[in-house]
Amino acid sequence: MNPLQLAVRVLRADSRSRASALFTMLGVAVGVALVVWLAATPGAIQNRADRESWRSQYSAGGPEQSANQPLLVVKTYDDVDGERVHRFDVAALKPGIPVAPGIPRVPGPGEVFLSPALAELAAKRPPAELAERFPGKVVGALGDEALSYPGELVAIVGHAPDAMPSGAQSRADLARPERGGHPDGLLLLLSQVGLIILVVPCLVLVASAARLTAARRERRLAALRLAGATPQQVVWMTVAETAVAAVAGTVLGLIIGIPLRSLTSRIPWEGGTWFPSDFTPSALLVIAVLVLAPLMVCFAAVFGLRRVLNQPLGAANQHTKRPPSVARLLLIFGAGAIFFVGLGMAQGRGGTTTYVLVGLTAVAIALVLVGPLVTSWVGRFFTGVWRSPATLLAGRRLRDDPKAAFRASSGVVVAVFAGSLALTMFPGLEGRIGFSDGTWRDGVLVAQTYGAQAKQVAAVRTDMAKNGVTAPVIAISEGRLGAKGDRNSQSAMVLSCTDAVKVRPVDIGVCQQGPAIYVPRGTRIAPGEIVFQSYGSRGTESADIDLPTQVPVREYQPNGRGSATIFVDPALVPQNKLAISSVAVVTTPQNEAVARTAVLRNVVGASIYSNGAYDSHGDTLLGDLRRVTVIGLAIATILGGVSAGVAAAGSVVDRRRTFGALIAAGTPTNVLVKALRREAMLPALVATVGASVAGAFIGAGLLTLAKGDLVLSPWLVTPAVLGLVVALLAAAACGPVLRKVTARAYAEE
């Protein structure tokens, strides 16, 4: 009888081997589905970056066209209903300019391409609220290949070259660069970190599933070895027995991955979800998983048979196992060293995160390998101090077979590590997200331009009035103010007192008669002749404008971090020497859309800032970050819990006969349940604390790469507490399995 026939015979004859194979298959399927999904995530991020890569290929030069740069582009942003609109004003200097997939061609003057979602939105709303922001005729739609995510709002507006707004830059084309797009660094780093810290519990789950009821198999194979089977025959029998479940589980996992992809594509990031095809794994990945997953499962099963191969009698008689070596402790220090050396390299110029990720993988694996050593120490401690039979049984088990005992905790330990890492990083990443800093009042739209004309500002007013909106429209010029020859000049804007009160959150009180300079309280202007240095723009040179002598300087109370600027009354500077850098419109929620349209129709090339839109974008990013953190941690927790439950239940099945005899001799089941619970909890208690500390250290290191500030909060203890709760719940899985063990179980094998 060959090994495969023997394996099939065992599966047919023994219902518990069959159940164990089924669990192995399910464990492998869940692990494979998650591994494929996680491994496809960096690819999905790259796909997104590739699709939008046509948007940011600028030459180093300005609008001076050359034969190689026949396209002028101004890239701006706007908002509608809290969603960002990406707008590209373009002018082709010659026909046939290459474009990226999804863009029909470079639009000619008066032609507009809108993304389908933007076109739909524009059609639904009155033209003055949205459609009129894009002057010209909509001649086509942008395809999915040109969009970052489904439903993205993008517009490409064509112009004649001489009608292009200020700030245009020249480019060669609107095509994707050959080297592909640059993915969002933070998202890529998070996905890679997530991949590593979630793949490890996946592997733990697969290994736990493969080792399910290993002791029973070990006894059977030891008997075969004693009956004369060669080590090679035993290995092949194990491979055959495991391979059936592993191959079936791998195929099932790949099938489960298909609906999982669709679910994942609904998780938003940076304002939009994903195309399901983004998460389609490459053929190479699928083939690699199909081959490697069953091999790994078989390897895990065969690796666990070393004792049977080397000492069949020992395995059959359940001799004491060799305790784990203290040298394992060195692994954690070694892995930590790899991580921090990698971190140092990544922080250097042109550094890569590859070594950091290798170090992170090493730390996660080291935690799993050091766990049995810690478990054996915990066991040793409790066998010395036990008072109750439950503690004695648990302590002895932990000390004598720490590898098997820790198997139930390993997934939870990695989940705690992931949780502490995430919670260490989260406040720092959160701090990096930009929110409005109080520079402008709420409701004020600020159109930032490369130099608008007074007539454009007037046209904004006219357009708004035409649509029944009579909001203040204020032109602002910016520059610096200081005494002549003083190098420490300060940021200033040409803005009257009454207008400043309307758009900036300042406490000036009642504006006094007559032109003046308003400075934030405590600001000192060096005595002497005062000069306003205006910023230049297209059509207006920068200029030093001498302000009249004896001009009154009045103080005001700034509110908000960004509001401390100097205001210079427009009456003090000649208007023809100033470039308009911003146009501010004071709006209400009711007239905001019309005001935006009026500004963008007349001040083409402006990006519009408002506190509401900026905060909304910040909220979106914060929500994204929280969402991916919660999803990642939920997966880690579920994986850890399931691994722990599978391992704990498997350990009961493996010791069914001993437990049966104990129950037959009158041992109350609840004493055994208590012992099993302690067996699961005691190593988890120590290991989760260790994992928590390791996670905080690694998280702090990773945070330096993301350039966030370290903020330690009491929430950091949450993963350890949650890990213990999960370990306790998983240990509770022993209860029902143990209650199925009857007093007669001892006689059944």
Partner 1 sequence: MTEPMGLNPLADRQPILVGQGLVKRYGQTHALAGVDIAVNVGEVVAIVGPSGSGKSTLLHVLAGILPADGGDVLVAGRPITRLGEGERSKLRRSAFGFVFQTGMLVAELSAEENVALPLLLAGGSKKQAMGTAQEWLIKLGLGGMEHRRPGELSGGQAQRVAIARALAHRPRVIFADEPTGALDSRTGEETVTALLHAARATGAAVVIVTHDPNVAARAQRVVEITDGRIALRAAA
| Residues binding partner 1 (CB under 8 A) | 314, 317-320, 386-389, 392-393, 396-397, 399-401, 657-658, 661-669, 671, 743-744, 746-747
Beta strand 553-558 with 506-507 is: antiparallel
Structure tokens at 159: 């112009």
Q: How far is the CB of 677 from partner 1 (least distance, A)?
A: 16
Using alpha carbons, select from 179, 172, 169 the residue that is nearest to residue 67: 172
Phi and psi angles of residue 706, each rounded to the nearest 5 degrees, phi first: -85, 0
**DSSP state letter for 81:** T
Nearer to partner 1, 130 or 741 (CB): 741
Nearer to partner 1, 141 or 664 (CB): 664
Q: How far is the CB of 387 from partner 1 (least distance, A)?
A: 6
Asked if 684 contacts 409 with a C-beta cutoff of 8 angstroms, the reply is yes
Q: Is the dihedral angle over the CA atoms 648, 650, 655, 661 positive or is it negative?
A: positive
Beta strand 111-114 with 137-141 is: parallel
Instruction: Determine the straight-line distance between the first and last CA of the chain, rounded to whole angstroms.
Output: 23
CA distance 461 to 472: 8
Question: Residue 71 is inside which H or E element, if any?
Answer: strand 71-80
CA distance 537 to 168: 12
Nearer to partner 1, 173 or 679 (CB): 679
Structure tokens at 411: 């997934």
Q: How far is the CB of 748 from partner 1 (least distance, A)?
A: 11
Nearer to partner 1, 56 or 670 (CB): 670
Q: Which residue pairs from 76-81 have beta carbons closer than 8 angstroms and sit at least 24 positions apart in sequence?
A: 76/605, 76/606, 76/607, 77/607, 77/608, 78/133, 78/596, 78/600, 78/607, 78/608, 79/596, 79/608, 79/610, 79/613, 79/616, 80/121, 80/130, 80/153, 80/593, 80/596, 81/121
Q: How far is the CB of 663 from partner 1 (least distance, A)?
A: 7
Q: How far is the CB of 306 from partner 1 (least distance, A)?
A: 17
CA distance 471 to 591: 9
Using alpha carbons, select from 41, 57, 76 the residue that is nearest to residue 600: 76
Q: How far is the CB of 378 from partner 1 (least distance, A)?
A: 14
Amino acid code (one letter) for 86: H
Nearer to partner 1, 57 or 667 (CB): 667
Asked if 688 contacts 727 with a C-beta cutoff of 8 angstroms, the reply is yes
Using alpha carbons, select from 320, 326, 334 the residue that is nearest to residue 404: 320
Q: How far is the CB of 221 from partner 1 (least distance, A)?
A: 17
Q: How far is the CB of 679 from partner 1 (least distance, A)?
A: 10
Nearer to partner 1, 317 or 354 (CB): 317
Q: How far is the CB of 322 from partner 1 (least distance, A)?
A: 13
Nearer to partner 1, 308 or 503 (CB): 308
Q: How far is the CB of 666 from partner 1 (least distance, A)?
A: 3
Which 3 state secondary structure label does DSSP give 152?
A: coil
Q: How far is the CB of 214 from partner 1 (least distance, A)?
A: 15
Nearer to partner 1, 233 or 318 (CB): 318
Structure tokens at 692: 């928590």
